[in-house]
Amino acid sequence: MDQGSDGTNNAAMGEKIAAAAAVAAVGMVGLVATSNTTVERTRLVSCEPAAAAAQQRTKMLGTSATSISTTTGGSKSSSSSSSIEVRTTAPTKSKMPVYTMKQVAVNNGENGKPVWMTHGGNVYDVTNFIANHQGGSEKIMQAAGSSVEPFWHVYRQHFNTDLPMKLMEQMRIGELLDKDQEKVDLKMELLEETTADPYALEPLEERHPALIVHGEQLMNAEVSEHLLTKDYLTSPDLFYIRHHHPKKTITLEDLKKIKKVKITATLQCSGNRRGGYNDFERTSGTSWGQGAISTAKWGGVRLRDLMKHIGLEDEMDAQENGKLEHVRFHALDGMMASIGIEKAMNPYGDVIVCYEMNGKPLPRDHGYPLRVIVPGYAAVRNVKLVQKIELSQEEAEGPWQRGLNYKVLPPDARDAKSVDLSKIPSMMELSVQSGITSIVPQNKSASSKPGDTIMVKASGWAYSGGGRNIVRVDVTGDGAESWKAADLTSGQDQKQGRAWAWTFWECTLPAKVQADGSVQVHSKGVDLAFNSQPDSAKHNWNVRGLTNNSWYSKKIPVQ
């Protein structure tokens, strides 16, 4: 940890930090030992051999239409039969211009020039897409004036759905000269044959078959609805998975010498329930149901204690001696996010540098060997694979903090260029939220007909960010004509203002049979500040699909 490289380092502080830290790196002092992992040159079964992959790339993007789907042998994400299936239509002769790679290289965005890229024998002008790139403009600009193939070899989420190729097709301006594409294919073959598979360390065999997998490379998986509230603490193998990069393995023992604490906290992806927005208009990102939320008991070292260990007394010390307002977390995979110094140093903020999950070492999917837990904040601030912690005058850079990824745009904004992202705050605390995981009829009858009322028992969960306790969950079975307060169960006795975990609820209530022979139940949570969920996602729609906390709705057939 250090104060960054902005020229404000305090010499005495720097000496203390340097003496206590484990690793030095380019003007910054890290808190985590570097990786000593040996990467074996083994390939995942879902990766084609190099020659076939090159052949497939040329085939796939030389066509007028492409459909990409993932076959995983059911929902079992670790299936040995996992493969990527690519279907293509017959190629059609194009009358588009043919460019050389030298011509493409000139258009690299410098000096006001457009940004061109190639893939699969096609040339694309992505200039107007740069600001909207989900991974951030810095990432996509790495391929400016060249081929995206080497980058998509790592960021394989581009093959999880057909959306990337549909977007690319709109930006296609021509074709790459055949002999230049052949050179790209040869380079890709060499890359795949001489370098370790970036996904070779993915713990496929450790992942639970009940996870709903949205993509294996990169792994994104949510908890099955029927298991979401099975236990108050989510089992690590059922904890939802959100990855931004392939996993790496490092070792760390030093922090375990500092006093250990345990914090029970819920992590929720900012895009949880994004699928509900897509009913109105498609958003950008994984179409989560309600399962991108889980809870665990995390063990580790208070960030506050760690800072004191290196000589920083409190947030005022940092602010007065260096105007340091932010704590940045750097991950081995390049991810970076930050929180305010007040949250980091607050004795009641409970931020920890974590190495245990439910009493066992962190699994690789959840940040092994070290991650940060920032209770009450969006999960993206809970950085995994932490290798460096930095005090800074400014918040973290990159797409996860300053870019489009985790900023809630107004409903009328369809393009990042239409707003000033610097004026939109990064997501920190999350809104009040609830979900329904079970509805069981109590007096189901074959003679029940539309308009009849039957009794049902509903149960689920509720959560609010910022440590705000859930004080009530209201439930309705008649379209909000009447409401009944649910009984709060597990989690209802958390400390006031430090309710970092979800609360379970259950309610027996009347429900009206609808025309299709089903009953529909809605829930809305109310937190300590008496914030309540809005009735519809329609008016909160945003292009990134963040913070859908509208009433939760669930239907079951009763006839």
Q: Which residues are catalytic?
A: 133, 158, 242, 269, 406
Asked if 68 and 86 touch (Cβ cutoff 8 Å), the reply is yes
Residues 277, 548: Cα–Cα separation, whole Å: 7
> Looking at this protein, which amino acid is placed at residue 101?
M
DSSP 451: T
Burial of 2 (0-12, 13-18, 19+ CB in 10 A): buried
Q: Is 482 helix (H, G, I), strand (E, B) or coil?
A: coil
Distance CA 381, CA 302 (A): 16
Residue position matching structure tokens 């004509």: 481
Residue 74 to residues 79, 81, 209, 212, 437, Cα–Cα distance (Å): 8, 10, 8, 10, 22
Nearest-angstrom CA–CA distance, 199 and 334: 16
Q: How many CA atoms lie within 13 A of 164 on its CB side?
A: 19
Phi, psi of 490 (to 5 degrees): -60, 130
Non-local CB neighbours of 120 within 8 Å, separated by 6+ positions:
57, 58, 59, 60, 61, 62, 149, 181
Omega cis (within 30) before 218: yes
Q: Are strands 470-476 and 518-527 parallel, antiparallel or unpaired?
A: antiparallel
CB atoms within 10 A of CB 346: 15
- In sequence order, the 6+-apart residues with CB closer than 8 A to the CB of 481 are none
Residue 518 is given by DSSP the state: E
Answer whether 526's CB lies under 8 Å from 532's CB: yes
Helix axes 178-194, 50-61, angle to 10 degrees: 150
Please tell me the distance from the alpha carbon of residue 115 to that of residue 105, in angstroms, as a whole number.
9
Q: Kindly list the distances between the CA atom of residue 389 and the CA atoms of 37, 199, 336, 371, in Å, as whole numbers in the listed order.
A: 21, 26, 10, 11
Q: Which residues pair with 98 in a beta bridge?
A: 175
**Which secondary-structure segment (H or E) carries 316?**
helix 315-322
